[in-house]
Chains A and B, each alone.
Chain A
Amino acid sequence: SAVISQKPSRDICQRGTSLTIQCQVDSQVTMMFWYRQQPGQSLTLIATANQGSEATYESGFVIDKFPISRPNLTFSTLTVSNMSPEDSSIYLCSVLLSGRSYEQYFGPGTRLTVT
């Protein structure tokens, strides 16, 4: 498995501002993912972040709203831009361990409230 940390663990933000969430892994991984988890709904994949290439966004998510950086094999950031109350959610990063293509491991999540 992998040890994954996220910062911040929670935040309350004003409408119209931006928040950057950090994800740190204790080992080098090729693929990292960002998910959103809203109450009563499935985890929804926002984007896949591979080191050395542009992030791949899922339908309904755009780079201007959720820019992602992946500067190295152990770190990624997700920014939630120009926030509205609808962005209130839990944001989770996950990693795919090299050689274990079906096992994703999740961080503890960032609980975001937009007022």
Chain B
Amino acid sequence: QKEVEQDPGPLSVPEGAIVSLNCTYSNSAFQYFMWYRQYSRKGPELLMYTYSSGNKEDGRFTAQVDKSSKYISLFIRDSQPSDSATYLCAMSAIGGGGNKLTFGTGTQLKVEL
């Protein structure tokens, strides 16, 4: 079993839809949770991070962490064609060092006009 599981998609939604992207994990030591966006032929771009459980909102993006269920989500409101990309979740078990990240395989999202 992988430490981090992520549905690879592809996920196709119409413009304006609410998108829900999810990851589950097995390592209870994970404390930091991140979402990266990766456009085709580009490096991953850090979108959001959260520490421990709770929600964090940034514009149209909301990150949610439920440590009791070992489940994290990224919601995208009013999705746009420019949101079409692969979304990677990542997690870290180290706080002060914060170095090693464990990634999901990524979910490919397509927002259609």
Contacts and interface: CB of A to CB of B under 8 A. Distances in A.
Contact of A43 (B32, B88, B99): B88
A96 interface: yes
A41 B4 CA distance: 12
A108 B49 contact: no
Contact of B46 (A44, A101, A105): A105
Contact of A42 (B94, B98, B99, B103): B103
A92 B34 contact: no
A33 interface: yes
Given A31-B99, A107-B43, A102 B32 contact: yes
Given A42-B105, A101-B96, A109 B51 contact: no
B61 to A, nearest CB: 16
B49 A42 contact: no
Contacts of B95: 101-102
Interface residues of B, number: 30
Interface residues of A, number: 24
A40 B42 contact: no
The 8 lowest CB-CB distance pairs between A and B, nearest first, are: A101-B98, A106-B43, A102-B32, A42-B103, A102-B98, A43-B103, A108-B43, A106-B44
5 contacts: A42-B4, A45-B101, A103-B34, A106-B36, A109-B43
B42 A104 contact: no
Contacts of A103: 34, 46, 49, 98
Contact of A96 (B4, B8, B99): B99
A2 to B, nearest CB: 11
Contacts of A22: none
B23 to A, nearest CB: 11
Interface in A69-104: 92, 96, 100-104
A104 B46 contact: yes
Nearest to B31: A102
A101 B105 contact: no
Interface in B74-95: 88, 90, 92, 94-95
